[in-house]
Each structure stands twice: as C-alpha cells, then as structure tokens.
Structure 1
C-alpha cells in the first residue's frame, strides 16, 4: 500500500500490483473508487466478450484487468495532480516503473 496526496491535502491509500478485488468483483472496485471511465470500459468489454463466449470472456476480462488496473488507477491519480506522500511510496512507484527515477 502506498499513499498518494494532492495539493488540496486529500490523501488516498492505493495498493500497487495485483488487484484481488478486480479479480473477484470485476468492474465494481473501479466503480466504488469513483473511477467511472474505467468501470464503464471494463463493464463493456466484459459484456461484449461474455455475450459471445457464454460468460467465459467476462472472466478472462477480469483476469486481465486484475493485473493492470491498480497501475492504471495510480497513473490516473498522477494525471489528476496526486503525488507520492512519502519516500516509501515514491520508491515503490519507481520500482514498479510507474514513476521515473
């Protein structure tokens, strides 16, 4: 877990790496985080692939997104003006190649 903060003083704790919640619940974690864009994208992809493959495509979509969603979410926070709150958070982001050294 890392902490991201912005200039207004808002902080968010974010997990880096594999997203178990996305694995088990699909697009719902993105929806609960307020990340509507990615919640809709995941829902549409899962719906389209699931409709052609009797639901297997929806499971595959969750399997793919559980590996990449946390990284996508952190990058979007950075674009919105969030930055690592401490040196530990910064080093974790550099190690995971989300931030440049």
Structure 2
C-alpha cells in the first residue's frame, strides 16, 4: 500500500506501508535517496556493528519510522485512501 502525504507548503511525499523491499536490497541508501540523513547514519552504523543483521530489522521498521517522522514534521494524508490506511495501521487517530 502506498500513501500520499502532503505538507502545509504543498510538498507531496509518497511512502509504502509495511515491509520495505528497498531497504532489504539497498540498506542505508534508501534513507539517503529520501533525504533522511539521520536514519541513513543510524542504519549504516547499526548494520556495520551487527554485520548487517540490523538491516533485517530495518526492513520491517523503516517505512513506519519514515511515515511517523513525516507526520511529526506536519505532513498530512493527501487523500481519503491514504487517511484510511494510516488510521487502519494506527499511525493517526480516526
């Protein structure tokens, strides 16, 4: 499922909900491409320190973390479908 999030300035971001195949294959490069430098550093350090076992954990958690951080920065669902998905998954209140 892909949700659309829109900022007050009109900037639109899309994010997948659930398992991240891109993190599975590309690891810390995904947050770099999304402009999320903080998580790129965290993921790189954790992966190196755990011999890349942490990357398996991030496959399950990164998309949710990315969505929560966008919501904290003021992004809101861009359409009714996105709102319904975010409510169903517990990211926002109904």
- Give, in angstroms, the shift of residue 62 of structure 1: 1.3
**Structure 2 residue 69 is matched with structure 1 residue 68:** no
Match of 2:38 in 1: 37
Unaligned runs of 5+ in 2: none
Match of 1:92 in 2: 85
TM-score of the aligned structures, taking structure 2 as reference length: 0.95
The runs of 4+ residues in structure 1 deviating greater than 3 Å are none
- Residue deviations 1:28-69 (CA, integer Å, cap 9, x gap): 10111010001100000111111xxxxxxx0x2111101110
More helix per residue: 1
TM-score of the aligned structures, taking structure 1 as reference length: 0.88
**Structure 2 residue 75 is matched with structure 1 residue 82:** yes
Unaligned runs of 5+ in 1: 51-57
Matched residue SS, 1:98: coil
Match of 1:53 in 2: none
- CA-atom RMSD in angstroms: 0.8
